[in-house]
């Protein structure tokens, strides 16, 4: 290994990361191990958050929508562990039940954008030609409009019909980046020999697309699905904070954060909005760490 | 070089046309038109219909799109319901604030990215690298408005280090140099928060790019010539690793603008992004659409600039 004589510390060793390179096995092994440990911890925290949301009725006996005028804006204490909001509703109950809503919005919106994105990207990548041109120009247009601005416009046009609307709006605005990834994968894969062999054996377009190309493109798709869930949770939080997402009285982490748009609550009643923000933060950070680790283990070529 | 720039500009044209089509479609999807709020006893359904006909609202959609586009090219984006002023005027009055905030954020982000990205790559897998990685995950994954709210509460309300939003100290009129400094003082905290979210992604990217570059032969050559590690890293490796960052800078504009909408709202900064939020509250559709259109066109322009800058710093690009 080439080491510069006057280097005060071990120099950059890119070789360490190359495929099959054995540069410094212990160091890279330890590094990967530590990374995985973080990823394992992230997965555990994520599981805990999901369990807490699912088992909300077992954790708190409060109804998230029950108001109590005797305890308005009460701080955390023995009766209400995380205090109460301006209507005297229990904040812990709202946080747990709100978690159900935020996680559901994240998962369903991401699923919608994955399905549309995979269909569009696969069509564009496999067939090429005018289908590719039309779809990808549309994707270019949508991607160059700042996502939140587009979401605001769409959400302010669509009559808000509750959770389903929010999920559809987020899902249908965020598929273009998925389509780009899937298209790039399909473009590369469709020229490979095994596809040619399959075609020679008489397989039709849809069989090649879904049975052969899709499984080979799974690694980046899974990673972008994970990041898609995190982004959808962030988007729900932002939209609901602006008053365009999940509407009261249904609790969600996003509309709990809306409490902070009141100066009094912002300055004095931290328990009304800080826990919801931390819940979003913890969830999305864990998903990002998980997505990163997934990328490393699913496809080492994609390593960052 | 000139033909390269021309090609990039021509490639941007269909996207801009696409954006106008999408915006027009959204405008048509919005409920109501300028006449739907007229509730005068002298106006019956027939005369309303006549007014709509005269204004071209009953024309076929392609004709309406064409007329709308002509108006757009004349700088007419309609009239704000809420502010009773032309949308173009509202935007031109407020866009400066948004641009100074966003450019300040980008500048701070770049200033932080270069040393942090290099250190992260040079000391790959060190404690520092891992801490930076974790922080950048937090930066990418945190809702930017939540950081803004925390900063507002703790840095502006609890400890009054920064002003609690706005762009001017209320109730005082300052002479020239002080008023600019006052504005800067108001913008620095929101800009820092926007920069944090941007820099998080940039640092990850520069780190990966550095790790890629140091694997290449010319780095080995530089080392075997006996060059010092510092020269190899900062002169040979960094200069090549930083080039793709130019493209990333262009691509990150939509995220910057999205974050700007939330940050301007949290800090009540009267730029166009906050105006967009106010427009949503008031259901002021011409304002919502006009600002979205402007943000999209700024994004395209930014990408175009990034492409040209890329060709300037990397001559290989011009001959593809």
Record: contact B215-A281, CB cut-off 8 A: no
Residue B114 touches partner A, C-beta closer than 8 Å: no
Domain range list for chain A: 99-261+276-302
CB within 8 Å: B254 and A277: no
Average pLDDT (A238-242) is 91
Comparing CB atoms, the residue among B137, B142, B292 nearest residue A150 is B292
> Ranked by mean pLDDT, which of A91-105, A144-158, B22-36 comes out on top?
A91-105
- The topology (CATH level 3) of A99-261+276-302 is MetI-like fold (1.10.3720)
**Mean predicted confidence (pLDDT) in A98-107:** 94
**pLDDT score recorded for residue A46:** 93
Confidence band (pLDDT; 50, 70, 90) for A18? very low
- Give me chain A's average pLDDT, please: 82
Residue A101 predicted with pLDDT over 50? yes
- Which of A190, A182, A181, A291 is CA-nearest to residue A233? A291
pLDDT score of B223 more than 60: yes
B141 has pLDDT over 60: yes
What are the pLDDT digits (tens) for A217-235?
Answer: 888 898 899 999 999 999 9
pLDDT band at B69 (very low <50, low <70, confident <90, very high): confident
A–B interface: beta-carbon pairs under 8 A: 184
**Statement: residue A22 has pLDDT above 50:** no
For residue A138, pLDDT beyond 50: yes
Q: Do A146 and B277 touch (CB under 8 A)?
A: no
pTM of the model: 0.85
Distance from the Cα of A203 to chain B's closest Cα (Å) equals 37
Longest dimension (CA), chain B: 91
List the single residue in A8, A140, A148 with the smallest CB-CB distance to B258: A148
**Residue A13 scores a pLDDT above 60:** no
pLDDT at B5 over 90: no
What ipTM did this prediction achieve?
0.85
Q: How far apart are CA A80 and CA B72, in angstroms?
A: 56
CA A181 to the chain's CA centroid:
16
Report CA-CA distances (Å) from A145 to A59, A233, B16.
42, 20, 10
pLDDT of residue A286: 92
- pLDDT tens readout for residues A166-197: 999 999 999 999 999 999 988 888 888 888 88
A40-54 tens-digit pLDDT: 888 899 999 999 999
User: Chain B contacts of A274, Cβ < 8 Å?
Assistant: 150
pLDDT given at position A32 = 57
Q: Can you give the three-state secondary structure of chain B, one letter per residue?
A: CHHHHHHHHHHHHHHHHHHHHHHHHHHHHCCCCCCCCCCCCCCCHHHHHHHHHHCCCCCCHHHHHHHHHHHHHCCCCCECCCCCCEHHHHHHHHHHHHHHHHHHHHHHHHHHHHHHHHHHHHCCCCHHHHHHHHHHHHHHHCCHHHHHHHHHHHHHHHCCCCCCCCCCCCCCCCCHHHHHHHHHHHHHHHHHHHHHHHHHHHHHHHHHHHHHHCCCHHHHHHHHCCCCHHHHHHHHHHHHHCHHHHHHHHHCHHHHHHHHHHHHHHCCCCCHHHHHHHHHHCCCHHHHHHHHHHHHHHHHHHHHHHHHHHHHHCHHHHHC
Per-residue pLDDT band for B37 (boundaries 50, 70, 90) equals: low
Domains and CATH numbers, chain B: 87-313 (1.10.3720.10)
Determine the average pLDDT of the residues in A77-96.
83
Share of chain B above pLDDT 70, in %: 95
pLDDT tens track for B265-311:
999 999 999 999 888 888 788 888 889 999 999 999 888 888 888 88
**Which of A102-111, B28-37, B175-184 tops mean pLDDT?**
A102-111
């Amino acid at each position: 290994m080439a080491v510069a004589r006057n280097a005060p510390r071990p120099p950059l060793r890119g070789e360490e990361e190359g495929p099959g390179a054995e540069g410094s096995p212990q160091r890279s092994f330890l590094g990967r191990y530590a990374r995985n440990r973080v990823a394992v911890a992230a997965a555990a925290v994520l599981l805990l958050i999901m369990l807490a949301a699912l088992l909300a009725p077992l954790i708190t006996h409060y109804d998230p929508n029950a108001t109590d005028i005797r305890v308005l804006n009460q701080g955390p204490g023995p009766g209400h562990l995380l205090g109460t909001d301006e209507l005297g509703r229990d904040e812990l109950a709202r946080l747990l039940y709100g978690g159900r809503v935020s996680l559901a919005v994240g998962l369903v919106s991401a699923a919608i954008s994955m399905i549309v994105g995979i269909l569009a990207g696969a069509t564009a990548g496999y067939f090429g030609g005018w289908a590719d041109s039309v779809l990808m120009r549309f994707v270019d247009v949508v991607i160059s409009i700042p996502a939140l601005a587009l979401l605001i416009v769409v959400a302010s046009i669509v009559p808000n019909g509750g959770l389903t609307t929010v999920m559809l709006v987020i899902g249908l605005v965020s598929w273009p980046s998925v389509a780009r990834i899937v298209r790039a994968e399909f473009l590369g894969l469709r020229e490979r020999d095994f596809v040619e062999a399959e075609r020679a054996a008489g397989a039709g377009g849809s069989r090649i697309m879904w049975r052969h190309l899709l499984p080979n493109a799974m690694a980046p798709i899974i990673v972008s699905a994970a990041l898609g869930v995190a982004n959808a949770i962030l988007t729900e939080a932002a939209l609901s904070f602006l008053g365009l997402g999940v509407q009261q009285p249904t609790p969600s982490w996003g509309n709990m954060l809306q409490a902070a748009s009141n100066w009094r609550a912002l300055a004095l009643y931290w328990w009304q909005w800080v826990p919801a923000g931390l819940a979003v933060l913890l969830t999305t950070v864990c998903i990002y760490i998980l997505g990163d680790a997934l990328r490393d283990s699913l496809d080492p070529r994609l390593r960052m | 070089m000139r033909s390269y720039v021309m090609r990039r500009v021509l490639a941007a044209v269909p996207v801009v046309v696409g954006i106008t089509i999408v915006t027009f479609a959204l405008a048509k999807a919005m409920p109501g038109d300028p006449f739907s709020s007229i509730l005068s006893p002298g106006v019956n359904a027939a005369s309303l219909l006549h007014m709509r006909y005269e204004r071209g609202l009953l024309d076929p959609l392609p004709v309406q799109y064409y007329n709308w586009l002509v108006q757009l090219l004349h700088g007419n984006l309609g009239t704000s319901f809420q502010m009773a002023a032309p949308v173009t005027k509202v935007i031109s009055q407020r866009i400066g604030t948004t641009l100074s905030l966003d450019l300040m954020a980008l500048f701070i982000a770049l200033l932080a990215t270069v040393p942090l990205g290099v250190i992260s790559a040079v000391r790959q897998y060190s404690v520092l690298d891992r801490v930076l990685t974790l922080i950048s995950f937090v930066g990418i994954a945190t809702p930017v408005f939540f950081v803004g709210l925390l900063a507002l509460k703790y840095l502006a309300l609890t400890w009054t280090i920064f002003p609690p939003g706005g762009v001017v100290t209320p109730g005082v009129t300052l002479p020239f140099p002080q008023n600019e400094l006052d504005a800067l003082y108001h913008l620095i905290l929101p800009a820092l928060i926007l920069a944090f979210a941007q820099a998080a992604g940039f640092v990850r990217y520069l780190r990966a790019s550095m790790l890629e570059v140091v694997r290449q032969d010319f780095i080995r050559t530089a080392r075997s010539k006996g060059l010092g590690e510092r020269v190899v890293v900062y002169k040979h490796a960094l200069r090549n690793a930083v080039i793709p960052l130019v493209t990333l800078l262009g691509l990150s504009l939509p995220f910057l603008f999205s974050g700007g909408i939330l940050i301007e709202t949290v800090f009540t900064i009267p730029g166009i992004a906050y105006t967009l939020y106010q427009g949503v509250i008031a259901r002021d559709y011409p304002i919502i659409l006009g600002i979205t259109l402007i943000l999209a066109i700024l994004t395209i322009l930014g990408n175009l600039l990034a492409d040209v800058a890329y060709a300037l710093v990397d001559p290989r690009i011009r001959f593809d």
